[in-house]
Amino acid sequence: MTGSRAAVIDRGEARWLERARQGEQAAFAELVEAYQRPVYNLCYRMLGDPAEAEDAAQESFLKAYRGMRRYDPQRSFSTWLLSIASHHCIDQLRRRRLPVDSLEELEPWEEVADLGPGPEKSATLREAREAARALLGRLGPQDRAVVVLRYWDELSTEEIADALSLTVKAVKSRLHRARKQMAEAWLRDNPEPAWNGGRADVASAV
């Protein structure tokens, strides 16, 4: 999201933020337009259900709107907003009191976004989405949030720590654990080809 975030700042985010902090609803509406995709994506990846994701994203924006006066302009707005959404989704997942791999028990995700590509590309995207959903489903709520913030929102370790109220060390540890869990899950789900002495992927790994 780094590129899009920079673009948003270029489009006058600072002005919108200032006006939104003064209570101007139209300015906050601009922020909703600018940030709806990363917030919704985070909620979708966390909760795995379009309706719940929509509700969570809307609630996150409401919480942000109510808290605008408390927002520190020195802090990145996107990190602050994603922090609100992450905490909301983590709370939702904890309330469900279901096993951490509950995403797999949900109905397959509906197509709600980007219906533009042709059938082949749509199928590829859907496959990638399902594979990502299965991988995220192996993780606990907070580890899931760390992975989503890292891989989709491209936040730095420090920003993730800030967003999730964790230490940098804890984020590194959670990311390490999550990557290991996902890699092991991948190995279990995808029967491995005969080992070739480690030559195939050595270059990409190092």
Partner 1 sequence: MSHQPFEDWILGEEGLQEGERQALAGHLAECAECARLSQSLSAVERTLTQSEALAPAPGFGARFALRLEGQRARAGRQQAWLAFGLAGAGACVAAVPPALRLMGDWTSPASMFVQLLIRAYDAWIALQVAGDFVRMAWNSLPDVVSPAGALAFAAACLGLGVIWITTLYRFAFRRVTEGA
Q: Indicate the length of the chain as a whole number.
A: 206
Distance in angstroms (rounded) separating the CA atoms of residues 205 and 121: 28
Number of C-alpha atoms within 13 angstroms, CB side, residue 68? 19
Quick one: 97 or 138, whose CB is closer to partner 1? 138
Distance in angstroms (rounded) separating the CA atoms of residues 200 and 206: 12
Distance in angstroms (rounded) separating the CA atoms of residues 124 and 104: 19
Tell the smallest beta-carbon distance from residue 135 to partner 1 (Å). Answer: 6
For partner 1 (CB under 8 A), the number of binding residues is 57
Distance in angstroms (rounded) separating the CA atoms of residues 200 and 188: 19
**Using CB under 8 A, which of 37, 71, 101, 106 touches partner 1?**
37
Q: Is 71 in the site for partner 1 (CB under 8 A)?
A: no
**Using CB under 8 A, which of 61, 88, 141, 161 touches partner 1?**
61
* Range in contact with partner 1 (rule: CB under 8 A) among 5-13, 71-79, 84-92, 168-176: 168-176
DSSP state of 100: G
Distance in angstroms (rounded) separating the CA atoms of residues 4 and 16: 16
- List binders of partner 1 among 122-161 (CB under 8 A): 125, 128-129, 131-132, 135, 147, 151-152, 157
Q: Is 33 in the site for partner 1 (CB under 8 A)?
A: yes
Q: Is 121 in the site for partner 1 (CB under 8 A)?
A: no
Closest CA to 150 of 139, 165, 161, 137: 161
Residue type, 31: L
Q: Give the binding site for partner 1 (CB under 8 A).
A: 1, 23, 25, 29, 32-33, 36-38, 40-41, 44-45, 50, 53-54, 57-58, 61-62, 65-66, 112-114, 125, 128-129, 131-132, 135, 147, 151-152, 157, 172, 175-176, 179-180, 182-184, 186-187, 190, 192, 195, 197-202, 204-206
